[in-house]
Amino acid sequence: MNRDVTVQEVMDREFVAASESDNALETVELMIREEAEPAIVLRGSEPVGVLSDRDVLEVVVDDDTNPTTVNVGDAMTESVPTITPEYTLAEARDRMAARSTKWLVVSSGGKPDGIVTEHDVLSSSTIGTEIDAANGASEEDSHLVDASTSTTASDAGAAEAGGFEDQGICEKCGSLSRDLSAFNGQLLCADCRDI
């Protein structure tokens, strides 16, 4: 990963925002149309929570509630994992791992500027590979170097506890997991193995 890339360079500046009184089902429908997750819950311009489709499902399933009657405030997660735009992607990666989240709200001055996701962090890690390829190394050689580097890092006993170094991507759901196992020829997380 190119450690000089900042959150500001890769964050998505467009995001779904909702208020606590909005209907949760309508908000999730908007998130699906916009292909965005999570929705940032605002009180005025201040973020007070985040809402994912899973948050709404938990309320509906656990409480046996009619989904059309659930408000965003009833289902939202009140803690808002944030980061400022000048942080590097390595720092964003570490913060996501420490908070066990797939995204961070990028904020400066108390107002949300955008969202950075684990996908943004992982896809930007190819920037260093592309630079190596442009400097004469073949892309295949770059991947071999990256693989040997990450093997060395994991052999060192997870030098950065809680970092992404000891995680991989589930081949079924695409989520980042520390607990991948081979199952029917695929590396799967615990959730996908149970299905």
Rounded Cα distance between 143 and 164, Å, is: 17
Mean pLDDT to the nearest integer, 53-70: 87
Question: Per-residue pLDDT tens for 27-37?
Answer: 999 999 999 98
pLDDT score at 141: 47
Q: What is the mean pLDDT of the chain?
A: 79
- Report residue 15: phi and psi, to 5°: -150, 160
Write down the domain spans for the chain: 7-122, 167-195
Q: Tell me which of 15-19, 32-36, 183-187 is least confident.
A: 183-187
List, in order, residues 6 or more apart from 112 with CB less than 8 Å away: 15, 17, 40, 42, 47, 105, 106
Whole-structure pTM value: 0.61
Kindly report the CATH class assigned to 7-122: alpha beta
Q: Is the pLDDT of residue 26 over 70?
A: yes
**Residue list for the binding site for Fe cation:** 170, 173, 189, 192
Q: Is the pLDDT of residue 78 over 70?
A: yes
Return the HEC string of the chain. Answer: CCCCCEHHHHCECCCEEECCCCEHHHHHHHHHHHCCCCEEEEECCEEEEEECHHHHHHHHHHHCCCHHHCEHHHHCECCCCEECCCCEHHHHHHHHHHHCCCEEEEEECCEEEEEEEHHHHHHHCHHHHHHHHHCCCCHHHHHHHHHHHHHHHHHCCCCCCCCHHHCEECCCCCCEECCCEEECCEEECHHHHHC
How large a percentage of the chain has pLDDT more than 70? 76
Mean predicted confidence (pLDDT) in 12-41: 93
| Residue set of the binding site | 170, 173, 189, 192
- Across 64-74, b (16+ Cβ under 10 Å) vs e yields eeeeeebbbbe
Q: List, as own/partner pairs, every contact residues 157-165 make where C-beta atoms lie below 8 angstroms and the sequence separation is at least 24, other chains included.
A: 160/94, 162/94, 162/97, 162/98, 163/93, 163/94, 163/97, 164/93, 164/94, 164/96, 164/97, 164/121
Please enumerate, by residue number, every residue annotated as part of a binding site for Zn(2+): 170, 173, 189, 192
